[in-house]
Chains A and B, each alone.
Chain A
Amino acid sequence: MVDTARTVVRTDGRHESVHELIASPDFKRLVARRWSVSGILLLLLFASYYGYVVILGSSPEVMARRIGEFTTLGIPIGVGVIVFAFILTAVYVAWANCRYDPEVERLKGRLKPR
């Protein structure tokens, strides 16, 4: 268990408790960013997949439209939903590796090594 009364030394020499770190604007920004990135990506995922499903349910003729001699529009769209889902996942990993992880390391650096 983390001792919330434990004090930590910051680079400016001022002592700060774990409670203060959690309450700091930097930490709050980290949390807010993490969930807004997830939220936006999740929204895009919902829009693409449920958009596809609702069109299938309400106006299937859109998906039955031919784009080649026989190929229907539904075939590339079905594949597209899968590919788009993978792209969203990749975007999240790229963001987390480039932005989230360095910020976590920075905040952890403000705590004394355990």
Chain B
Amino acid sequence: MPAQATVETTLGNPSAASIGFFFLIVAVTLQITYWAAKRTRTSKEFYAAGRSVSALQNGLALAGDYMSAASFLGISGMVAMRGYDGMIYATGWLVGWPALMFLVAEPLRNLGKFTFTDVVAFRLRQGPVRVACAIGGILTVLTYTIAQMVGSGALIKLMFGIPYELAEMIVGCVMLAYVLFGGMIATTWVQIIKACLLLFGVTVLTVLVLYKFGFNPGNLYAAVSATYGQEALEPGGLVTSPLEAVSLGLALMLGLLGLPHILMRFYTVPDARAARKSVLYATGLIGYFYCIIPIVGFGSAVLVGRSVISGIDKGGNMAAPLLAELLGGTPFFGFIAAVAFATILAVVAGLTLAGASAFSHDIYVSLIKRGKATEDEQVQVAKMGTFFFGVLAVLLGILFKGQNVAFMVGLTFSIAASANFPALLLSVLWKRFSTWGAVSSVLGGTFVSIGMIVLSPTVWVDIFHYERAIIGLRNPCIVSMTVSFALGFIVSLLTPEPQAQAKFEEEKLRVYLGIGAE
């Protein structure tokens, strides 16, 4: 068994390598943004990259949009510190992708223009539906953005040693440069580059770990067992109640089907066939990532050691960078730190574009201007929305500094699964779905999710420090999603809408045959 090394780390002191890689990535992506800016004139180019992205490119970009710093640093850290339980998390993050394919990918592509709201509003009355979906969509994007910004400020501070507020502003400025000037084209390429760098970096880490153990994972597990006991390879305390676990699983799986920044990517490909293929590529890439990331986690537990990892960051987030430094020296550490930074930029850029589209496309252009805005006006409004959302993201990141925002990710997936997803599915499948059915389903799902999380131990006890939570369930999805579907059904039956039902034929022609799709 390899002896546990004592780690001399440059973590927190910006090294030449980490700064070099960081500037290289920023320089390349800004160069791409400059190139993309010349190709971003119309709203279709700004929001949907002119629908010219290929299936493979979109698959990579979807992977880049989805794999956050939380999945890279968080899951490897969780496996390092808690062993097998981290792997359970990893599986949950993947299983949404097939469900996305089976239920919404193709109808979404065929029915919509730029946002998932376009799909829900296809047959229904624009006003109420657009407002309700914008609330659901913006809350999803906003809570996810807060979690990402707060996490990234802390991570950048740890890795590069720059102050939290400055880190927030750097992320905000670079990301705004991509989205403001290059729109979806630049965002897509940033996400593709990030996905390639991340997959490359994690693959190298995995190979280096396996090399230390004679390319036999059994030897690695033996070392884990010898150092931390066999418990590290057995399920621990993460899943205690099946109800809680299923509820979390539902949120992770079906929440993906309601994440606006992911759904938006499907409008960048030419047709439903390409949308379908891009999900397959994304599932393969993300699945590969989650299959190998536990090896990085176990490797850092054995080679770096839990006490060293938690000495630097209690949550274990620095497990992968520390392992990189140990196995590949300062240059490789610099590379991994820069990759983590690129990861943050790519995810936040995608979120900003989605947040901006909810303001500008769903509310301003479709509702206030009733779809009658000129191209120049649409792009201008989209850029204003982007700027507003980007500044908001930085301000919220600074405002929530040092706060426990772990519940925000749960809230994001819970709202996505119980506000956006039911309305999306019912609008495609159910002829009698009505305007007020959609509105009550979206708003009901949103408010039940928020209410239940606030009253659950996650917020009521952990943040407000009350003795006992009012609701015992930490993951509300199983209840909130059921409420949302039930509201959608009951209210639609109570408020029949003949005009919407009459348009169902046109919708079917478009959903199943793609006739009339944008």
Contacts and interface: CB of A to CB of B under 8 A. Distances in A.
Given A53-B249, A54-B246, A78-B90, A85 B287 contact: yes
A86 B284 contact: yes
A90 B102 CA distance: 11
Contacts of B177: none
A57 B240 contact: yes
Interface string A1-33: 110100000000000001101100001001100
Contacts, number: 164
Contacts of B84: 63, 72, 74-75, 78
A49 B246 CA distance: 9
Interface in A67-99: 68-72, 74-75, 78-79, 81-83, 85-86, 88-90, 92-93, 96-97
Given A22-B505, A70-B230, A92-B98, 5 more contacts: A22-B509, A38-B103, A53-B88, A72-B84, A85-B98
Interface string B246-278: 100100010000000000000000000100110
Interface stretch (B214-222, B352-360, B397-405): B214-222
Contacts of A42: 98-99, 102-103
Which of the listed residues A4, A31, A57, A104 has the most CB atoms from chain B within 10 Å of its own CB? Answer: A57
Contacts of B230: 64, 66, 70, 72
B512 A31 contact: yes
A104 B506 contact: no
A96 B101 CA distance: 11
A85 B221 contact: no
Contacts of B505: 2, 4, 18-19, 22
Nearest to B514: A104
A64 B88 contact: no
B242 A53 contact: yes
B417 interface: no
B360 to A, nearest CB: 25
Nearest to B94: A82
Which of the listed residues A34, A68, A89 has the most CB atoms from chain B within 10 Å of its own CB? Answer: A89
Given A75-B87, A82-B287, A89 B279 contact: yes
Interface in B76-125: 84, 87-88, 90-92, 94-95, 97-99, 101-103, 106
Interface residues of A, number: 55
Interface in B213-246: 217-218, 221-222, 224-225, 230, 233-235, 238-242, 244-246
A56 B95 contact: no
Contacts of B102: 38-39, 41-42, 45, 92
Contact of B234 (A4, A49, A63, A96): A63
A56 B284 contact: no
Contacts of B472: none
Nearest to B88: A56
B389 interface: no
14 contacts: A2-B515, A22-B508, A22-B509, A39-B102, A54-B245, A54-B246, A56-B239, A64-B230, A68-B221, A72-B84, A82-B90, A85-B95, A85-B283, A93-B279
B170 interface: no
A36 B225 CA distance: 45
Contact of A85 (B88, B94, B222, B224): B94
Nearest to B222: A70
Contact of B506 (A2, A50, A72, A90): A2
Contacts of A107: 513
A27 B273 CA distance: 19
Contacts of A21: 509
A85 B513 CA distance: 27
A81 B106 CA distance: 24
B246 A50 contact: yes
B515 A60 contact: no
B163 interface: no
Contacts of A45: 95, 98-99, 102
